[in-house]
Amino acid sequence: MLSLSWNARRAMALFCIAFSTTSCSAQPHFDGTTVHKVAPTFTLTDQYGKQFNLTDQRGYEVVLFFGYTHCPDVCPATMATLAQAVNRLTPAERQRVRIAFVTVDPDRDGPAMLGRYVRLFNPSFYGLTGTERELDPVYRAYRVFHQKLPGTKATGYLVAHGSTIYLIDPRGDERVLHEWSDSVDAIAHDMKELVS
Amino acid sequence: MITRVFFFACALTMAFVAPSSAVSTVTVTNVWSRPATGTGAVYATIRNSAATSDALVSASSSVAKTVELHESTPVSSGSMSKSMNGGMQGMPAMAMHPVKFIAVAAGASTMLKPGGYHIMLIGLRHDLKAGESFPLTLRFRTAGDIHTVVHVRSMTQ
């Protein structure tokens, strides 16, 4: 009885060690800055004129970037990085990730313009817009800096804007932040972690 | 005496002929762009082998109505005139502004790259597609005009 009990305890101890090791290795490691809070929800309009509600995206990892289509440099560089990162995912992982470009320039970025723009990078990407009343709370919730700046006669106004990429897990939690200039490897790694 | 005159004549000829026939002191390599609609950007590496500094002062291309020189820079906290609706401080941001020239120091290179100096194409006459090439003329303060070709890379490059 005593011997059986000792064996049982030993087995239990081994099981616990094995289990805790498994749990440790299952802990995701992220290359970006980690955060853990509920991602503020919103409803905006996508490039097809349909409503895009963040809460409806549960079950999908959502990647947000804020920019504007007249931006020739940082925005396309970021979107190209995201397109490359998505290409690193397996087809199954790719189906669970939604990339959304949210405009900081709703006056010039309507659904049609955003549609043409996001198609350049990946036809599955979303381009989101809305009225100022709809967008302002989203900028505030995600702490997205945005400010119109004088440009030239040819460019019209320019917009200084936040350059953070937000990774939201399939449960709707904001988990990882990247900067626009982070590597494809680092972003693809964290995207994988959130859908694996 | 005849020899001296001959050498003088040669030197004079060299002085007038050499600058126009010599290889430019500025070389432009790795000239690329991305697929784009409406507005685009061109990046390149500019090398100045001269003993004095030079500067890119303008650019032109048949693919765009207007071509300008721009620079992207990080927004430093407090550099913007208006507050950020509270609570937005601390989140990184980028801004872009036109520049009058892009300097290339003597014997040095300047890289035009994402998040820094770039040539901005405004009012593209057609969408830029991966794999296409288009002409671009760069005007330098000292080296003059340099004609080059821009290659549009695919998004996966």
Calculate mean pLDDT across residues A150-162: 96
pLDDT value for A37: 95
Residue B81 main-chain phi, psi, to 5 deg: -70, -40
Most confidently modeled range among A18-22, B75-79, B109-113: B109-113
pLDDT value for B77: 54
pLDDT value for B23: 73
Of A84, A140, A179, the CB nearest to B92: A179
User: Does the beta carbon of A76 lie under 8 angstroms from any beta carbon of chain B?
Assistant: yes
- The CA-to-CA distance between both ends of chain A, in Å, stands at 44
Round to whole Å and give the CA distance between A124 and B98.
33
pLDDT value for B21: 40
Tell me, what's the ipTM? 0.84
pLDDT digits (tens, 9 = 90+) for A58-76: 999 999 999 999 999 999 9
E strands, chain B, are 26-33, 39-48, 54-60, 64-74, 93-98, 102-104, 108-112, 117-124, 133-140, 144-152
3-class SS at B74?
Answer: strand
Distance of residue B10 Cα from the nearest chain A Cα, in angstroms? 50
Q: Average pLDDT, whole number, for chain A?
A: 90
The number of residues in chain A equals 196
pLDDT value for B91: 87
pLDDT value for B19: 42
pLDDT digits (tens, 9 = 90+) for A100-151: 999 999 999 999 999 999 999 999 999 999 999 999 999 999 999 999 999 9
- DSSP β-bridge partners for residue A52: A44
Nearest to A72 by CA among B131, B72, B90: B72
CB contact under 8 A, B87 and A117: no
Round to whole Å and give the CA distance between B100 and B39.
19
CB pairs under 8 A between A and B: 120
- Residue A7: Cβ within 10 Å count: 10
Does residue B90 have a pLDDT over 90?
no
Distance of residue A25 Cα from the nearest chain B Cα, in angstroms? 31
Listed in sequence order, the DSSP H helices in chain A are 2-26, 74-87, 91-94, 111-119, 132-141, 184-195
User: Does the beta carbon of B131 lie under 8 angstroms from any beta carbon of chain A?
Assistant: no
Q: Which residue has the higher pLDDT, A19 or B24?
A: B24
The pLDDT-based confidence of B86 (bands split at 50, 70, 90) is very low
| Buried b / exposed e along B11-42 (16+ C-beta atoms within 10 A) | eeeeeeeeeeeeebbbebeebebbbbebbbbb
The number of residues in chain B equals 157
Distance of residue B63 Cα from the nearest chain A Cα, in angstroms? 15
Of B82, B87, B96, the CB nearest to A71: B96
pLDDT value for A156: 96
pLDDT value for B96: 95
E strands, A33-182, are 33-38, 43-45, 51-53, 61-67, 97-103, 126-128, 146-149, 158-162, 164-168, 173-179
Of B36, B93, B96, the CB nearest to A76: B36
Nearest to A99 by CA among A132, A133, A67: A67
pLDDT value for A52: 98
Percent of chain A having pLDDT more than 70? 87
In this structure, are residues A178 and A192 in contact, taking their beta carbons and an 8 Å threshold?
A: no
CB contact under 8 A, B115 and A76: no
Does residue A80 have a pLDDT over 60?
yes
pLDDT value for B83: 42
User: Does the beta carbon of B98 lie under 8 angstroms from any beta carbon of chain A?
Assistant: yes
Q: Average pLDDT, whole number, for chain B?
A: 85
pLDDT digits (tens, 9 = 90+) for B103-153: 999 999 999 999 999 999 999 999 999 999 999 999 999 999 999 999 999
pLDDT value for A28: 85
